[in-house]
Amino acid sequence: MRALSSHAAVIALGFAALGVAALKLLGGADWTPLALFAAALIVTELVEDADRIRTREPSDFEPFRVASALHIAAAIVLGPWSAALLAGGSAFGVRRLRDRSLGTVSFEAATVTLGTLAGGYAFLAAGGHTGSIELLGDLGPVAAVAVVYLTIRTTLLQVVAAREAFQPDFAAGAGEAALGAAIALFATGHAWNLVALVPVALVVHVAYTRLARVRRETLHALETFANIVDERDPSTYQHSIRVARSVDRLARSLGLPFSDIDRLRWAARLHDLGKVAVDASLLRKEGRLDGAEWAAMRRHPRLSARLMQRFEFAAGQARAVEFHHERYDGQGYYGIEGSALPLASHFLIVADSFDAMTTERPFRPALSREEALAEIERNSGTQFHPTVARAFVALERGYDAAALLTADELAQLRDAAIPYRLPVIPGARDVRDRPELIAIAGVTLALVAAAFGQLELVYAGAAVGLVGLLLYVRRRSGVARLTQTMLDAVGRAQTREDSFDELTSVLERACGATWSGLIDWEEDGLGGTVSRERGTDGPHLAVLTSWLVREAESGETLLSAGGFELQHDGVVVALPLRRENSALVGFLVLAVPRRLPGQVELALAEAADELAPALAGRPESGAAALRIAGTIVQAAN
């Protein structure tokens, strides 16, 4: 009800503004720029609205919108009211022609109307003048109109309409603002200049559209792959589709943000990709699996995560998919405690288990729906997350899941995915660790100042550039010294163990490492063991192994993860150890209180090829590992 009232208020306010703008236009206007902007917006809306198909992709990809740039430019050239009328009128008229929902189109039109109107007044309040723009003097007013417009648009479309956290796309927004300023510069020179610039803007839009299409086609290819996996076993035909539907319904009933619902749905759709490496005879076997067969089956969640990690738009779901056979009490495939599992995993666990129980398998008959729901209730708090299990059972029995949970439980579920949505914003630490950026910024400032004849700024830019250069030379010198110290340390050692001890002693002094571990990696890339360690404050081995499996093939010279992902205070860093043939045979892992100093990161990256031969062991083959795992399982049974 509150969401509906918010929508209604936005629509009412937006259309009231459109009415006032229309009345003001009757009082007189310069029709040439008005007509050209109207034509440009209609063409742009036609082109862009054709690409507004909701694909439900599990990504944060935000398209670049030429229409937004035109709204900003119109606010500068035409003034707040005329620009608002064109923005809202073109959005409503064109989008409604495509038979889209009246309520949705009205809300979107009201959003751009209010954003453009407020942006136009922000331009005037910051010292700008309608129909005039000059650089550099009007940079402040241009920034004001862009910030206000984009903030209102993002707030209304993301927070009010989509129930998302406020998460603007800074790159797309900056591009739209810059293009809007360029259009305004052209249009204030002569209104017909706008005609020459719009095709260029549409070319940019086409490039973004093609990028989105490639992402969409790749995702559909993965979906086809998932269908093929389901079809290998007649008893699990369309299993991933049913699990995805269950997860989607549960997430919607709990009022999760739409982007999180999409991520959950695709995680469910792709959760069994790893079964492609499991022999089909095992999937259809009627009897009990023996030790080696069970060990092979247990590999598939980790392999699914490894496959998904290779795709940027699906990588965010890899961790949840890897843990879809874990238990809340930590007795699952990989022994991960329930508190260390992401919320998405708990959704997958209950939906996957329910579909498995209600589907006939070669080794057992199917349970009825009510029997399966009773089993979920019985195992709530041991196998299943209590809150998620209670909501799932209520929904399957036809009740309102959200109504049966307390406000605190709902808030906990809705907030659980926020850490995955928060953007990473560069800070002062990033600038300090890359002094070359300071040097480049100083030189750039000096050159721009010289172009405008600002001698004081030329000197200031040159000074900043010189400071950055000196810091860069100092940093490179420190990296070279640390690199040589590490190489000397392993060079003195006689054994692999001595090399590890000598090297970690150096790193403890350089970065304050509280724990160091040497991981021998299995040939199948799905696990490893700690062969040597220093300190006691290391991450849980099962969680560490899961992270290494997902990131091993990322191509990064140095892997790093925060405490949230590994359930460990501080930061964990891993240096992949490879042989001359590029085969991954292990990792050097460090637990540090905070992010590694920049020179330590560089030194480790530069010395990696020389350190690997001294630290790399000879792990057992994947077949041997499976035989050992099979023996352990048989002994347990």
pLDDT along the chain (637 residues), means of 10: 70 89 79 85 76 50 78 91 91 81 87 93 91 80 91 81 64 84 82 72 77 80 84 78 92 83 88 84 75 81 86 80 92 86 91 91 83 94 93 92 85 65 48 81 92 89 94 93 93 90 92 91 84 87 87 82 77 88 87 87 89 71 41 38
CATH code, domain with 585: 3.30.450.40
Residue 536 lies in a domain: yes
pTM score above 0.85: no
Residue 230 lies in a domain: no
Do 305 and 319 contact (CB within 8 A), yes or no?
Answer: yes
Please tell me whether residues 246 and 155 are part of one structural domain: no
Say how many CA atoms lie within 13 Å of 601 toward its Cβ.
17
At position 239, the amino acid (one-letter code) is: H
What is the Cα Rg of the chain in Å? 29
Q: Where among 186, 215, 244 does a domain terminate? A: 215
Please tell me whether residues 266 and 400 are part of one structural domain: yes
Would you give the DSSP letter of residue 365? P
Provide the pLDDT for residue 425. Answer: 45
Please tell me whether residues 74 and 187 are part of one structural domain: yes
CA distance 192 to 174: 25
Contacts of 285 (CB under 8 A, 6+ apart): 293, 362, 363
Please tell me whether residues 115 and 44 are part of one structural domain: yes
Please tell me whether residues 83 and 180 are part of one structural domain: yes
Please tell me whether residues 258 and 377 are part of one structural domain: yes
Note down the domain range covering 324. Answer: 235-421
Residue 550 lies in a domain: yes
First-to-last alpha carbon distance for the chain, in angstroms, is: 55
Please tell me whether residues 295 and 320 are part of one structural domain: yes
Cis peptide before 34 (omega within 30 of 0): no
Q: Where among 421, 442, 471 does a domain terminate? A: 421
Residue 258 lies in a domain: yes
Question: Number of folded domains in the chain?
Answer: 4
Contacts of 78 (CB under 8 A, 6+ apart): 33, 34, 37, 86, 130, 131
* DSSP string across 40-56: HHHHHHHHHHTT-----
CATH code, domain with 326: 1.10.3210.10
CA distance 570 to 319: 20
Pair of tokens at residue 356: 């498995």
Residue 250 lies in a domain: yes
Do 301 and 336 contact (CB within 8 A), yes or no?
Answer: no
Contacts of 64 (CB under 8 A, 6+ apart): 172, 175, 176, 204, 205, 208
Residue 66 lies in a domain: yes
Please tell me whether residues 116 and 189 are part of one structural domain: yes
526-545 residues labelled b (16+ CB within 10 A) or e (exposed): bbbbebbebeeebbbbbbbb
Please tell me whether residues 501 and 435 are part of one structural domain: no
Q: Where among 215, 249, 278 does a domain terminate? A: 215
Provide the pLDDT for residue 474. Answer: 92
Alpha carbon distances (Å) from 498 to 501, 580, 620: 5, 21, 21
Provide the pLDDT for residue 211. Answer: 78
Residue 25 lies in a domain: yes
Please tell me whether residues 378 and 434 are part of one structural domain: no
Residue 636 lies in a domain: no
Do 133 and 87 contact (CB within 8 A), yes or no?
Answer: no
568-590 residues labelled b (16+ CB within 10 A) or e (exposed): bebbbbbbbbbeeeeebbbbbbb
Quickly tell me which residue has 């499976």 as its tokens.
626
CA distance 255 to 200: 41
Please tell me whether residues 120 and 16 are part of one structural domain: yes
Residue from 229, 326, 333, 321 nearest 283 by CA: 229
Do 516 and 509 contact (CB within 8 A), yes or no?
Answer: no
Please tell me whether residues 302 and 448 are part of one structural domain: no
At position 265, the amino acid (one-letter code) is: R
